[in-house]
Amino acid sequence: MLAELSPKLVVEVHHAAKLLAASSRICVLTGAGISAESGIPTFRDKQTGLWEQYRAEDLATCTAFARDPQLVWSWYQWRRQLVHNKMPNSAHYALAQWQQDTEVYKQHLTLITQNVDDLHEQAGSTATHLHGHLWRNRCSQCDVLYNSPLDTQSTGQSQRLNSIASDDDKLIKCTHCGGYMRPDIVWFGEVLPVQAWQTAESAAANCEVFISIGTSSLVYPAAGLAQLARQNGAKIIEINPNPTPNTVVDITLAEKAGIVMPLLLKQIDGLLQR
Ligand code: APR
């Protein structure tokens, strides 16, 4: 594996591992790029098929839903179908393993994600979701969560089945107020969930190392977490094969997360077990 990487990257991974092994409070922010190797297109990827003519930024808004709820609902049903059979990749698994190891290593790792998929949870992580959950629905008027008969039966997997079961694209009405159900996702221009944002701010402000993985760092307020961490003295590591506008990065690991994360974890393990 190491032989396939550039010498510069090998040095940087080692540098990052040393920094992380010496830190006790770590905050990780993930974005769509971490799920790209699982086959889920990122937001800035061009859309395909029926949806080629639309931009995600134009559909994921309250205004779009108010104007044409059917269009926006159908788009999310399509996205759910894109995602429903996708599995975590080696980056999700490495993060989950690390979260479990932190108890042994007396580290504390807070995982914050902008992703609405549940691949972190499927891999075994506990993650704070800043932008909501693809598999949940709530009323667009009274906010009540949609509770289907399948949801009440068992686990999160049933919520996935429920969402797919409604792939006839028919809008669902709220049994309380008659409003249309919408995905429980934070759309452009909407406020982030208070509890999730407090967790993220506190973890970023109090960490020694902040790691940004697979995010374009374009969408605020999430993109400001790295700056907050830096202002409070943290070192910043970025894992992304492409450059981003994040200007506070100390260590750039310019490679896919699925390649870097297992390698990084292996090196941290090696250093901490000595
Ligand atoms: N490993 C790491 N990074 C990757 C990989 C990979 N295998 N593949 C792509 N990337 C990077 C891209 O270079 C890009 O910088 O992932 C980033 C994905 O960027 P976006 O699509 O903008 O996703 P994200 O930053 O999560 O978007 C933020 O914007 O649309 C809203 O609410 C939505 O949560 C989303 C938010």
Residues 143-154, mean pLDDT to the nearest whole number: 64
Residue type, 260: V
pLDDT at 5: 86
Catalytic residue chosen out of the listed positions 120, 129, 131, 133: 131
pLDDT at 163: 52
pLDDT at 273: 86
Q: Which residue has the tokens 């292996």?
A: 266
Cα dihedral: 110, 34, 241, 81 (round 10): -160
Q: Which CATH number fits domain 1-40+87-131+192-274: 3.40.50.2300, 3.30.2320.80, 3.30.565.10, 3.40.50.1220?
A: 3.40.50.1220
131 assigned to active site: yes
CATH topology of 1-40+87-131+192-274 equal to that of 42-85+132-185?
no
pLDDT > 90 fraction of the chain, expressed in percent and rounded = 78
Give the ligand 1 atom nearest the CA of 60.
30
Interval 34-53: pLDDT, tens: 999 999 988 877 777 678 88
Say yes or no: CB of residue 252 within 6 Å of ligand 1.
Answer: no
Residue type, 54: Y
pTM given for the model: 0.93
Q: Are 190 and 217 in contact (CB under 8 A)?
A: no
Calculate the CA 134 to chain-centre distance: 11
- Between CA 29 and CA 213 the distance in angstroms is 6
pLDDT at 153: 45
Q: Are 137 and 116 in contact (CB under 8 A)?
A: no
Cα 244 to averaged position of ligand 1 atoms, centre (Å): 10
| Cis upstream peptide for 221 (omega within 30°) | yes
Interval 172-220: pLDDT, tens: 999 999 999 999 999 999 999 999 999 999 999 999 999 999 999 999 9
- 193 vs 169, which has greater pLDDT? 193
Q: How confident is the model at residue 2 (pLDDT cuts 50, 70, 90)?
A: low
- Between CA 159 and CA 41 the distance in angstroms is 22
Domain 42-85+132-185 has CATH 3.30.1600.10: yes
**Domains of the chain by residue range:** 1-40+87-131+192-274, 42-85+132-185
